[in-house]
């Protein structure tokens, strides 16, 4: 009987100990937050804001690592293959949902190869052009692009990036195809636009607001349902004539599959804490971005959002016949 009790006790300890240990010991070193695009761009901005706010509740620094390439799929593959111990995270956006349709040889399944940690912010995009672009509003812009499509080029951050998707939607809406120029992030694409090396770009308001206000780029419209309080003179693309043109770029945080639940819980709580930081909220609001409410940013909310966006974009991309490979 004694023998049986000892066996039962050690079996119980074996069942309980790993997760209790994982929670107590985590994090045992700095956490790496992998960003799928270049430094200084919109995803990087969100990642750095959240990383800063997570450090205090976690008791360890959260270090941002930029791993750009192939529309974000290089970074996602890197995190999929990382140790599932919570020390390597991925911050990604809508591209996590569109990659399965765009990349037929994708090295991961977004729904089954990751643990969901939380949703962070939602950011609209702005349609902008080089500062000397010869069109004063959306109607003139569309007419000019249609008439000059052979000589115009559209910058984006790689196939599957938000700027690529928004650009695709724009071209299919106006029924005109232009040459597209991929960069490794819209930080670089925007610099090329400011330098007039490319003609136009669809990019998140977090990256473009200050350049629109400074006049270093020309803005035509925003992809949100309503105008932004931060850019009140900029019409929505819908009201300017591109009916139903709406794109919101949502950011989520992921960990490798198999990361213990207590670790995910600790990370999710740290993200929620970071999202409450007044400085982070103000920075995001000033740039037209919306921080998700606590109940919209849970791991379950991210899982639901990812699934519904895969279901939404998959058929659109397949019908368009656009593939990265
Ligand atoms: C970035 O951080 O560079 C962007 O999110 C790229 C994009 O998806 O357009």
10-residue mean pLDDT series, the chain (325 residues): 42 48 81 98 98 97 97 96 98 95 93 98 98 97 98 95 93 93 97 98 98 98 96 97 95 98 97 97 97 95 96 82 75
Cα 43 to middle of ligand 1, angstroms = 6
At 93 the pLDDT is 97
pLDDT at 321: 76
Q: What is the SS3 assignment for 67-123?
A: CCCHHHHHHHHHHHCCCCCCCEEEEECCHHHHHHHHCCCCCCCCCCCEEEEEEEEEE
Spacing, Cα 185 to ligand 1 middle (Å) = 5
Tell me what pLDDT residue 314 has: 85
Q: How far is the CA of 186 from the centre of ligand 1 (A)?
A: 5
Give residue 313's pLDDT: 85
> Could you identify the atom of ligand 1 that is nearest to the CA of residue 184?
3
Residues 6+ apart with CB under 8 A from 136: none
C-alpha 209/C-alpha 256 separation (Å) is 34
**Pairwise CA distance, residues 192 & 147, whole Å:** 23
Residue 19's pLDDT is what? 56
Cα(163) to ligand 1 centroid in Å equals 7
* Best residue among 204, 247, 250, 309 to mutate for probing ligand 1, ranked by most atoms within 8 Å of CB: 204
Q: Is 39 helix (H, G, I), strand (E, B) or coil?
A: coil
What pLDDT sits at residue 274?
97
SS3 325: coil
Structure tokens of 9? 């006790």
Q: Residue 229 C-alpha to ligand 1 middle, in angstroms? A: 22
Most ligand 1 atoms within 8 A of CB, residue of 36, 163, 201, 249 to mutate: 163
Element containing residue 295 per DSSP (H, E): none
Task: Measure 201 CA to ligand 1 centroid, in angstroms.
Answer: 11
Atom of ligand 1 nearest to the CA of 71: 8
- Cis ω on the peptide bond leading into residue 27 (within 30° of 0)? yes
If you count them, how many residues does the chain have? 325
Q: Which atom of ligand 1 is nearest to the CA of 161?
A: 8
pTM of the model: 0.91
Closest-lying ligand 1 atom to the alpha carbon of residue 42: 2
Ligand 1 environment, Cβ below 6 A: 37-38, 41-44, 93, 95, 157, 161-163, 185-187
């Amino acid at each position: 009987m004694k023998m049986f009790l000892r066996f039962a006790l050690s079996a119980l300890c074996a069942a309980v100990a790993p997760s209790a240990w994982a929670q107590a010991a985590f994090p045992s070193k700095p956490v790496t937050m992998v960003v799928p695009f270049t430094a200084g761009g919109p995803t990087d901005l969100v990642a750095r804001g959240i990383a800063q706010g997570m450090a205090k509740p976690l008791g360890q620094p959260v270090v941002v690592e930029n791993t750009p390439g192939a529309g974000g799929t290089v970074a996602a593959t890197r995190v999929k293959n990382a140790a599932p111990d919570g020390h390597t995270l991925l911050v990604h956006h809508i591209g996590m949902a569109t990659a399965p349709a765009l990349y037929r040889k994708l090295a991961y399944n977004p729904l089954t190869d990751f643990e969901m940690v939380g949703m962070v912010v939602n950011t609209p995009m702005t349609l902008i052009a080089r500062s000397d672009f010869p069109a004063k509003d959306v109607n003139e812009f569309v007419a000019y692009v249609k008439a000059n499509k052979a000589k115009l080029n559209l910058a984006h951050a790689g196939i599957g990036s938000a700027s690529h998707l928004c650009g695709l939607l724009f071209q299919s809406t106006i029924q005109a195809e232009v040459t597209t120029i991929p960069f490794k992030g819209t930080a670089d694409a925007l610099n090329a636009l400011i330098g007039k090396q490319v003609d136009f770009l669809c990019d998140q308001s977090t990256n473009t607001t200050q350049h629109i206000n400074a006049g270093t780029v020309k803005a035509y419209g925003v992809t949100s349902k309503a105008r932004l309080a931060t850019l009140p003179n900029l019409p929505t693309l819908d009201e300017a004539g591109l009916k139903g043109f709406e794109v919101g770029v949502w950011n989520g945080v992921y960990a490798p599959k198999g990361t213990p639940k207590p670790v995910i819980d600790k990370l999710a709580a740290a993200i929620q804490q970071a999202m409450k930081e007044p400085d982070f909220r103000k920075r995001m609001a000033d740039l037209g971005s919306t921080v998700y409410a606590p109940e919209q940013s849970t791991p379950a909310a991210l899982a639901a959002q990812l699934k519904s966006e895969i279901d939404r974009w998959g058929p659109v991309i397949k019908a368009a016949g656009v593939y990265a490979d």
